[in-house]
Amino acid sequence: MKKTLTLSISAALLASSMSALAAPEQPKGKLECIAPADPGGGWDFTCRQFASALRQEGLIDKGMQTVNMTGAAGGVAFAHVVSKREGDAGLIVAASSSNATRLAQNQYPGMDENDVTWIGTLGADYAVIAARSDYQYDSITEVVDSIKDNPKSVKFAGGSGILGWDQLNLLQVLNTGGVQVDSLKKLTYLDFNNGATAITQILGGHLDIVVGDMSEVTSFLESGDLKVLAVLAEKRLPAPYAEIQTAKEQGINVVAPNWRGFYMPANVSEDERQYWINNLNAVYESDYWKDIMKKNALSPFNISGPQLDEFLTHQIGEIRSIFKILR
């Protein structure tokens, strides 16, 4: 009897161990990715490319729908997830440093970063200052000098919401370049719901400079419609963008990596969170995603789970400090 009992316990422990090692199961029901902006921007890019990579790598056995939910620089989607989608393990939402910027300013009323579950990141998308290919200036220093002479001489566009990520980057560039601007009201700056709409205004000749991210402008660089006056990176990006100067090498030491990743609703299980973390990390390591990163000038940046929670808390604190200085 004693021997049988020992064997039974061993078998139970083995079964328990195997169960613990088993990969979390795919959520039942539909899979959905919310892009908190109109089609064509960075969040839309993140959802659609990730869904494509999941299918390409055979990580899901059904499609994942991208739903565009624009408004309040991600605030509409954030509120929707917090108030209506709690516990929905089949839902993920594209996120970036833009969310951290809004959370740092308490721009999602009554909500904070702890009201959702953070999954992980798929790369960093460096901020850029770009213009039409025939624009009179070819460098960010020329733009800054023009602003010094006349704050209204350059018309700017961005797509991250009022006092969002794009505006924060522009304020940092101008202040670091010697233009003491504590408010964008002193400039001509129009904000749009996403980078694609802002770029349309530039191409139409209505505005001069777009402040956005590298992934948003790559196709327009290839077509010859836009030129980048500065990329806000520590060093130049690899080919085919190695000819683009950084703001830093032009004497304006501003570096702004915009991480791209996902969050999901609160009150999901650890297994449900781990399912998406596992898939995100598998996509990140795939040759398919590495090719997407290269084509869209994304830089390596992959953290997930508790590490992302810690990073986000730190980033939100840093952004709050920057806004205190600018104000």
Task: Map tokens 């953290």 to a residue.
Answer: 303
Residue 12 has pLDDT above 50, yes or no: no
Q: Report the relative pairing of strands 209-213 and 116-132 from DSSP bridges.
A: antiparallel
Would you say residue 283 lies in a domain? Answer: yes
> Are both 118 and 148 inside the same structural domain?
no
> Are both 158 and 136 inside the same structural domain?
yes
Would you say residue 17 lies in a domain? Answer: no
> Are both 155 and 239 inside the same structural domain?
yes
> Are both 210 and 243 inside the same structural domain?
yes
Per-residue pLDDT, 73: 85
Average pLDDT over residues 21-34: 88
> Are both 120 and 130 inside the same structural domain?
no
C-beta neighbour count of 136 within 10 angstroms? 11
The more confidently predicted of residues 193 and 176 is 176
Which tokens go with 277? 């973390």
Buried b (16+ CB within 10 A) or exposed e, 61-88: eeebebebbbbbbbbbbbbbbbeebeeb
> Are both 265 and 245 inside the same structural domain?
no
Average pLDDT over residues 85-101: 96
Would you say residue 201 lies in a domain? Answer: yes
Return the SS3 of 137: coil
- How sure is the predictor about 327, in pLDDT bands with cuts at 50, 70 and 90? low
Q: What span, in angstroms and rounded, lies between the C-alpha atoms of 151 and 200? A: 23
Domain end position, chosen among 193, 223, 250? 250
Q: What span, in angstroms and rounded, lies between the C-alpha atoms of 131 and 146? A: 15
Q: Single out the residue of 283, 280, 272, 281 nearest to residue 25, CA to CA.
A: 272
Which tokens go with 138? 């070819």
> Which percentage of the chain shows pLDDT scores above 70?
91
Return the SS3 of 197: helix
Domain end position, chosen among 223, 250, 277? 250
Per-residue pLDDT, 201: 96
pLDDT in tens, 213-259: 998 899 999 999 999 999 999 999 988 899 999 999 999 999 998 99
Q: What span, in angstroms and rounded, lies between the C-alpha atoms of 45 and 96? A: 12
Per-residue pLDDT, 326: 64
Per-residue pLDDT, 194: 82
Per-residue pLDDT, 134: 97
Q: Single out the residue of 224, 296, 315, 223 nearest to residue 50, CA to CA.
A: 296
Total domains in the fold of the chain: 2
Angstrom CA distances, 185 to 102, 167, 188, stand at: 19, 11, 7
Domain end position, chosen among 250, 276, 311? 250
The more confidently predicted of residues 14 and 231 is 231
Per-residue pLDDT, 1: 42
**What is the DSSP code string of 58-109?**
T--SS-EEEEE--SGGGHHHHHHHHHH-TT-TTEEEEEEHHHHHHHHTT-ST
Q: What is the CATH number of the domain that holds 273?
A: 3.40.190.150
C-beta neighbour count of 323 within 10 angstroms? 15
Task: Map tokens 């920057």 to a residue.
Answer: 322
CB burial of residue 236 (10 Å; 0-12, 13-18, 19+) = middle
> Are both 39 and 118 inside the same structural domain?
yes
Would you say residue 112 lies in a domain? Answer: yes
Domain with 131, as residue range(s), is 126-250
Would you say residue 165 lies in a domain? Answer: yes
The more confidently predicted of residues 315 and 194 is 315
> Are both 66 and 113 inside the same structural domain?
yes
Per-residue pLDDT, 14: 39
pLDDT in tens, 200-216: 999 999 999 999 999 88
Would you say residue 111 lies in a domain? Answer: yes
> Are both 139 and 208 inside the same structural domain?
yes
Would you say residue 271 lies in a domain? Answer: yes
Residue 266 has pLDDT above 90, yes or no: yes
pLDDT in tens, 40-82: 888 999 999 999 999 999 999 999 999 999 988 899 999 999 9
> Are both 77 and 120 inside the same structural domain?
yes
pLDDT in tens, 159-189: 877 678 898 899 889 999 999 876 778 899 9
∠ Cα 139 145 151 (to 5°): 115
> Are both 268 and 200 inside the same structural domain?
no
> Are both 311 and 270 inside the same structural domain?
yes
Would you say residue 20 lies in a domain? Answer: no
Per-residue pLDDT, 149: 93
